[in-house]
Amino acid sequence: MKTTPLFPKIYRKVGLVVILIAVVLLVLDELMGLLSFLEQANVLAIYDSGIPLGQTRSDNRFFEIIQDDFRYETLVVLILTGLLFVGFSKRATEDELVQKIRLESLLWATYIHFFLFILLTLFTFGLFYLNILVFSVFTILLIYILRFEYKMYQLKKSLHEK
């Protein structure tokens, strides 16, 4: 049987720890500016269009080290990495039933994510829509993990049913 590329089993716990660290950093940054040192970080910009969107060539920067607020990027990458580790790490026995549940969960997550996204795109406006765009980065992974974990829990529970 072909093996699906998944992270080793331990990455599920690693992922949870990474998410926890990100949440703690977010809370502490909101409360006491813990990540203030990242507000003027030197970062590599493959492309920086600036705000507002630059129309002339001189306003756009390519492959330059710039100074920018890197807090959002740090937290998003940490949370996404954590979610990927949690969602795509191997189970104790990675057999065909688990793979079927995994595939179905990904399918459901994709359907629900895009259904919600289309609905919200059609009916929300203004700056609030930016929140939708930000949150939509996470929803597909979140829905997949929730459904997959729920189905695995149901499967485990069915062992004790007569």
Among 3, 42, 58, 93, binds another protein (CB under 8 A): 93
Residue 2 interacts with another protein (CB under 8 A): yes or no: no
Q: What's the closest the beta carbon of residue 91 comes to another protein, in angstroms?
A: 8
Which x/- pattern, by CB under 8 A, does the window 136-155 give for another protein?
A: -------------------x
Residue whose pair of structure tokens reads 């756009």 in the numeric block: 60
Q: How many residues bind another protein (CB under 8 A)?
A: 12
Among 98, 106, 109, 145, binds another protein (CB under 8 A): 98
Helix (DSSP H) and strand (DSSP E) numbers for the chain: 4, 2
**65 contacts 45 by C-beta, under 8 angstroms:** yes
Q: What's the closest the beta carbon of residue 8 comes to another protein, in angstroms?
A: 17
Q: Nearest-CA neighbor of 86 among 35, 138, 154? A: 138
Which sign, positive or negative, has the C-alpha torsion 90, 94, 98, 103?
positive
Residue (42 or 158) nearer to another protein, CB: 158
φ, ψ (nearest 5 deg) of residue 47: -150, 130
Residue 156 interacts with another protein (CB under 8 A): yes or no: yes
Longest Cα separation, the chain: 72
* Residues near another protein (CB under 8 A): 1, 92-93, 95-98, 100, 155-156, 158-159
